[in-house]
Structure 1
Amino acid sequence: MIRTLIPLAAVAALLAACSGEPKPSGGEQAVVTATGALCRPTPVGRQMTGCYVTLTATADDRLVSVSTPAAGRVEIHESKIESNMMMMRELKEGLPLPAGQAVELKPGGNHIMLLAVAEPLADGQSIPLTLNFASAAAVTVQAAIGQPPVNEYGTQTGS
């Protein structure tokens, strides 16, 4: 019986080694670029704020988590209108990044939420955000602290 188990274990190990995750087309590593990273200043007395960035992936991927030493917890959120109210919920499975398409995290839409912010964030500062993806290597960006731009209607972009 032991003689039978040893070859079976070898076959199982060989099959496990050959069954890795599929690679992006062309066998190349997916790459995600991040531009325009911005976090709002924390409101007085609040320990949370939103951050925005535009992500572009070379192959289909997914933003699965974000971390920063500036906050105790970070979540990827979706905002949308439900029952005539703006609702916000965590995207527990992360945010899809279709190949070659810019995905804008912005006010009033998908965004990064910093919770349990350790020290108040003020205009002019910056903080590191490490973006983790399902396939691509992690990307760390310096997010400026400031208000999102205002559009021609006098409202913040994306709201």
Structure 2
Amino acid sequence: MKLFLAAASLAVFPIAVLAEVVVTDPWARASILASRPGAAYLTLVSDMDDRLLSATTPAAGQVMMHASETDTNAITRMIHLDALDLRAGQTVRFAPGGMHLMLMGLTAKLEEGGQFPLTLSFEHAGDITVEVPILSVAFTAPEAN
């Protein structure tokens, strides 16, 4: 009887399994002109398999996920990603020269010392908003944790 009641309660009140994604080290370089795209970088770790579906910010008209690929002739090019799969426990770094979030149609120049909100939308974890500090145009990357 207890087993039946437990099964019945699960049917009425299903258990929600929510992923938690930890976002660390968000940053962007200051931009020289508002008419040029900017880029944002960060680190992601999910406690279960998830998928980054999109990103938005009021600082730009559009945010695009890009990866870099080097071909056999040592030519590197950007590749647009529609989504990014995250594996449980795997650290994914967005960094200069690699994956990045391209900020298209900046609403204003990215000024060193400023910041802007960035909302990341995940398939399971939902929306996560982080504040992205704007660092020097010459900044390369924070120290890895």
TM-score scaled by structure 1? 0.73
1:45 Cα offset (Å): 5.7
**Residue among 43, 46, 54 paired with 1:65:** 54
Which contiguous aligned blocks of 4+ residues in structure 1 show a shift greater than 6 angstroms? none
When the two structures are superposed, what TM-score results if normalisation uses the length of structure 2? 0.80
Number of the residue aligned with 1:109: 98
Identity percentage over the alignment?
35
Look up the match of 1:40.
29
* Superimposed CA distance per residue, residues 32-82 of structure 1 (whole angstroms, 9 cap, x where no aligned partner): 110010011122363311110001111001111000001001101111212
Give the Cα separation in 1 of the matches to 2:35 and 2:61. 13
- The unaligned stretches of length 5 or more in structure 1 are 1-17, 151-155
Matched, 1:88 2:78: yes
Report if the CA contact (8 A) 2:46-2:86 is conserved. Answer: yes
The answer as to 2:45 corresponding to 1:49 is no
More helix by share: 1
> 1:84 Cα shift?
2.1
5+ unaligned residues in a row in structure 2: which ranges? 1-10
Corresponding letter in the other structure for 1:91? L
CA RMSD in angstroms, aligned pairs only: 2.4
Q: Which has the higher contact order (CA 8 A, sep 6+)?
A: 2
